[in-house]
A and B are shown apart, each in its own frame.
Chain A
Amino acid sequence: MFDKRKDNEISQASTPVEPLSNQPTTETFNTRSAAVIGQTITIKGSVTGDENLTIEGTVEGSIDLPNHDLTIGQSGQVTADLNANTIKVDGQVGGDINGAEKVVITKSGKVKGNIVAPRVTLEDGAKFKGSIDMDPGESAKPALKSTTSNSAPSATAPSSGNNSSGGKSSDNVKAAG
C-alpha cells in the first residue's frame, strides 16, 4: 500500500513495544510583543494586523496575520478561518487554518476544519477533525510529540480506569503483512 513497506512474513500483531513516551515539544513560537485578545473579549468580524497575536477570548469571523504568529490560547474559542505565518492552537477552532510556515495543535487543542501548511504537528491528546494538506518537499520533518522507543516490548495492559487520550498507555503493535 505504501512504497516503503517491506514484504514481511505473516505474523501475529502481538508484540507490543515500549509505550511511546511523551516528550516536550520542540516547537517554538514567538510570543514576545504579541497583542492579546483577553478571555472576556468577544469579537465578531475580521481581525487583521501586522504583529503577533494571542487570542484567549472569542472570535467569530476571520483572522489574517500574514508574516506573523497567531496563538489560540487555552481559553480561546475561535469560529473563523485563520491565516498566519505560524499558528499554534491550545484552545478551540472551528474553521480553516492556513499556516505559511507551520501549524501546531497542542494536546489541549481542538480543531474542526481544514489545515494547509507545509508542516503540521498534532500533539498526543489533540483533537482534530478535517483534512491536512502538506507539502513535505518544502518543509523539515515535523517535531514529534512522541518518539520511537527501542526498549524491550512490555505486556502493557491498560487499566480500565485510564481515560487518558494521550500516549501514556499506548502500545506499538506490529502490523503483519
Chain B
Amino acid sequence: MTVLDLGPGRSSTLAFLTEFPTRVIFSDLFDVDVTLAEPDATDAAREEHALAVFNDALGLTRDTQIDVCLMWDYLHYLDRPSLRALSTALRPHLHRNSRGYAFGVLHANTAMDEHDYAIHDIDHLVRQPKTISVAHKPHTQRVLSENFPAFTVIKGTLLREGRLEFYLET
C-alpha cells in the first residue's frame, strides 16, 4: 500500500502505518510556496505555476500509484487555481480504488484552527498546533468539488464548530 501524506512526517502516523506493508510519502506541502509573485497574473498562469511546483514538491515518481491520500486541512490553504493544480498533479497517480481523507467546513466563514494532524491509532488522530501561521481561507464542499475534481466526497461527517470530515474516492 502506498500512502501519500500531504503534511510533514509525523512519528505517530509512521508508527501506525508500520502495522501495514506500506510505503509512506510525506510531501510536507505546508512548507511549499505555490503562489506566483506577480499580483496581476491570470488564474491560468497561477494554476500553471502551481502545477509545476506541485509536480516537483510531491516527490512522486512517474510510476507511483497512491492508495490513500491524507490531505488533512491542506486544501484550505490553497486558492482555487492552486486547488485545480493539485488535482491535476495528483490525478496521474490515482487509480479507481484510491481513497482520500480531508477536513472541510460547513460554511465558508467557519473558523479553522491551525493544526498539524497525524494518525494515532485506528480511531484517533493527533492534533498539534502549527508552529507557523499560514494564511488560509476555508473552502466549502461545493468549491472543493468544482476545483478539486481528482476526488469525490463519498461520506462527510459533521464535527464540532462547523467542521467536516471527508472520506473521498476517485
Number of B interface residues in the complex (CB < 8 A)? 42
- Residue A14 CB within 8 A of the other chain: yes
- Residue B145 CB within 8 A of the other chain: no
- Residue B68 CB within 8 A of the other chain: yes
Q: A1-B101, A158-B129 are in contact. Are A132 and B23 (CB under 8 A)?
A: yes
Contacts of A131 in B (CB 8 A): 23-26, 59
- Residue A44 CB within 8 A of the other chain: no
Count A-B contacts at CB 8 Å.
141
| A129 CA / B7 CA spacing, docked (Å) | 9
State which of A35-43, A65-73, A116-124 sits at the interface with chain B.
Answer: A116-124
A139, A146, A160 interface centre (most CB from chain B within 10 Å): A146
Which of the residues B15, B17, B99, B124 comes within 8 Å of A175, measured between beta carbons? B124
* B157 & A122 in contact (Cβ 8 Å cutoff): no
* B125 & A126 in contact (Cβ 8 Å cutoff): no
Contacts of A146 in B (CB 8 A): 11-12
Spell out A's residues near B (CB within 8 Å): 1-2, 4-6, 8, 10, 12-14, 16-17, 20, 105, 119-124, 126-137, 139, 141-142, 144-146, 148, 158, 160, 162-165, 167, 169-177
| A136 CA / B15 CA spacing, docked (Å) | 11
Residue of A nearest to B24 (CB): A132
Contacts of B59 in A (CB 8 A): 129-131
| A41 CA / B24 CA spacing, docked (Å) | 34
Residue of B nearest to A123 (CB): B11
* A6 & B127 in contact (Cβ 8 Å cutoff): no
- Residue B159 CB within 8 A of the other chain: yes
Min CB–CB distance A52 → chain B (angstroms): 25
| A126 CA / B118 CA spacing, docked (Å) | 14
* A1 & B159 in contact (Cβ 8 Å cutoff): no
Contacts of B121 in A (CB 8 A): 148
Which of the residues B17, B20, B120, B157 comes within 8 Å of A148, measured between beta carbons? B120
30 examples of A-B residue contacts, CB within 8 angstroms:
A1-B99, A1-B101, A2-B20, A8-B123, A14-B160, A16-B127, A20-B126, A105-B9, A119-B18, A122-B10, A128-B8, A128-B26, A129-B26, A129-B27, A133-B23, A136-B19, A136-B20, A139-B18, A146-B11, A163-B131, A165-B128, A167-B11, A167-B128, A169-B129, A171-B128, A172-B124, A172-B126, A175-B125, A177-B155, A177-B157
